[in-house]
Amino acid sequence: MRLGRVLLVVGPLLALVHLLMDAQPDGAGGTFWTYTIASLEAAIITTIVGIALAWREPARSTHDPR
């Protein structure tokens, strides 16, 4: 579940980085970074996987409520 929470933060950050790099004047943005690693598709997929992992019920609980 921790990984899901981390991915819920990383996904929107990737989208923000992509949008900020697109807003830069010509020649100032990193095209490899912007369109492969920090693409909007990667951000959406990362967020969806994060949601799925964060909402997943654990198979067995090791927490003792006593």
Distance CA 54, CA 11 (A): 13
Sequence-distant (≥ 6) Cβ neighbours of residue 13 within 8 angstroms: 43
**Residues whose CB is less than 8 angstroms from the CB of residue 51 and which lie 6 or more positions away in sequence, other chains included:** 4, 8
Give the residue-averaged pLDDT of 1-24: 86
Q: What is the mean pLDDT of residues 7-22?
A: 88
17-64 pLDDT, tens digit each = 888 887 777 755 567 767 777 788 989 999 999 999 988 866 666 666
User: What does the pLDDT read at residue 63?
Assistant: 65
Looking at residue 50, what is its pLDDT? Answer: 93
Q: Which residue has the higher pLDDT, 24 or 13?
A: 13
More confident residue, 36 or 4: 4
DSSP state of 57: P
